[in-house]
Amino acid sequence: MDPLTIEIGSLDREEIMLRLDASGVELNAHAQQLLLHSDFAQACVPMKINLLSCSVKALGLPDGGTLPQIYARARHVGLDLCPIITGPYLRLVHLDQESSGNSTLSAGMKPADSLTIASPILGDDDYPKGFYLRVVDSVPWLRGYRCDERYEFAPRDTFIFQQPA
């Protein structure tokens, strides 16, 4: 994904859900759980954010890394985490994402060709850590994921970060 500027915050939970549905976006149970978070309850002042995709390896972690390592490295190179509300907005503007080369909806490992939104961790290991975007058999997905602090992301795994203005 090329660097991209998007507007977030203008929709409340119901409006987000309606737009995702109208766009044919599928959600998994973890994404639905994240959308129940209080940050989605009501619209806020819209703001524009600059987004950049970056592989774990490009961040300077050639052997991969854990979420805490990835986030620390991103901050070290001047990138910020995205607000948790970024996921649905990015899904809505990035419906043209290429279909995954692997159409299996896998559990326990990061899917190939997915884009993980780097966002603050909202809860413990049983609560979803954030969203990722994926297209399976031409169907766009907004999915939530869970992992613990020891889970190792591969060097090729791609995250979306916020670039400071």
DSSP per position, 39-53: GGSS----EEEEEEE
Q: Smallest Cα–Cα separation from 31: which of 125, 147, 119, 144?
A: 144
Cα separation, 66 vs 129, in Å, equals 12
CB contact set of 14 (below 8 Å; sequence gap of 6+):
none
Can you give the pLDDT of all 165 residues of the chain as single tens digits?
A: 689 999 999 999 999 999 999 999 999 999 999 999 998 988 888 999 999 999 999 999 999 999 999 999 999 999 999 999 999 999 999 999 988 776 665 556 677 789 999 999 988 888 999 999 999 989 999 999 999 999 999 999 999 999 998
